[in-house]
Structure 1
């Protein structure tokens, strides 16, 4: 069942552009990130908890590494931690599958000439690794911003930088209020709202309600999104 937050009590606003997060929203890769994190932290006899997962969701790889090293008091350089994570990624990330409803929604918007883009905290190398088996799907987007390696993205989520940069790269440069963001992570929702955009959240089932309170609309799956609520063509 969908849930509307207080931010949307007055109704939804019409938009013209849609920006998608990738991990956990388009690609079922958050479970793979968890697997990689568990494997690496096991090497330090540390446990990767769900609370840690929620905290780092939406962060760039470097920001996530810094957070875990500080939080767990690990005596390892950031570069070495990232190297260990990358070894894990090489094995498991190509196995990422599309999330339920992702293909139908993206193809629908593309067919109806709605400008769409991806704003992911991944670096370009990680993006290419995870999407190598879904190139046709990701070619439907006008552009992709890889926050982990894009020089114009000063700070990762929850900073609004990545969404503002992403909006600026559409040819017609829409205003923030003309963009709808689709996200799964609390940090991403905060970033979208801070950018002045409406945000539909499809959270992990274990994400607590208080972590979702800033979203414009909360849905259990992309299959439940009704684009017409935001002035976009309805899926028939």
Structure 2
């Protein structure tokens, strides 16, 4: 099957998007949540930085990008151990949650997300979420956007799902998410949207293509495994992957 447009046509603004890879048509879409669908990454980063600062430590960019996309518990262990914080993992998480819980219920949907999700739904393209968040965290973050999130076929919350044995960058969560679609598509028929190098690596290990929407400060060297890199979901062109075009 040939794609309906050339690779050079997948971007509206080459300064905001790039790819050097061959694209293949897909039938299903899997989204990460934090930093892809909702603007939570900055809140989490600021909360962790605030806790670290209480102990005279700095949550630096290098550590932040290694934590990005990892399951919550794994990320917490990394921060506490590498910054030598004089508290337990549980105490650290309690402090972070106390800060986050004040603002997470009001977190906004990111640009282009509402349009793309409703477009996929209208055109009967199956789509789901594979997030490292726990179910409790997912419910809190999406509490003001229930109508939009109700459109997803299913949600896999890796932080609390017993079937997800290994977090990103392992491929487990993506393979499990694909298997829960009613028609259980082959992994190469799934397109993943991610914002983190860990997530992109996991998608690649699962045999899936990955559209990366990274933090603006993330080095391009950490984006090389993605199939396509976008500045925003607003720049996504569905027909580049054989999906119905926007009308």
TM score, norm. by length of structure 2? 0.92
Q: Quote the residue 2:220 is aligned against.
A: 209
Q: Determine which of 94, 99, 116 is the counterpart of 2:105.
A: 94
Aligned-pair distance for 1:59?
0.9
Q: Quote the residue 1:72 is aligned against.
A: 83
Q: Determine which of 189, 193, 197 is the counterpart of 1:178.
A: 189
Q: Quote the residue 2:205 is aligned against.
A: 194
- Hey, which bits of structure 1, 4+ residues long, moved more than 4 A? none
| Structure 2 residue 15 is matched with structure 1 residue 4 | no
SS for the counterpart of 1:150 is coil
Structure 1 runs not aligned, ≥5 long: none
Aligned-pair distance for 1:36?
0.9
| Structure 2 residue 50 is matched with structure 1 residue 39 | yes
Distance 1:187 1:208 in 2: 14
| Structure 2 residue 245 is matched with structure 1 residue 234 | yes
Distance 2:49 2:88 in 1: 18
Q: Quote the residue 1:121 is aligned against.
A: 132
SS for the counterpart of 2:217 is coil
1:85-132 CA-partner distances (Å, limit 9, x unpaired): 111121121121001100000000010000000011100010011000
Distance 2:156 2:55 in 1: 33
Aligned-pair distance for 1:207?
0.5
Distance 2:28 2:106 in 1: 29
Q: Determine which of 206, 215, 233 is the counterpart of 1:222.
A: 233
Q: Quote the residue 1:109 is aligned against.
A: 120
Q: Quote the residue 1:160 is aligned against.
A: 171
Distance 2:47 2:156 in 1: 23
SS for the counterpart of 2:199 is helix
Aligned-pair distance for 1:75?
2.6
TM score, norm. by length of structure 1? 0.96
SS for the counterpart of 1:191 is helix
| Structure 2 residue 155 is matched with structure 1 residue 149 | no
Structure 2 runs not aligned, ≥5 long: 1-13
Distance 2:35 2:148 in 1: 16
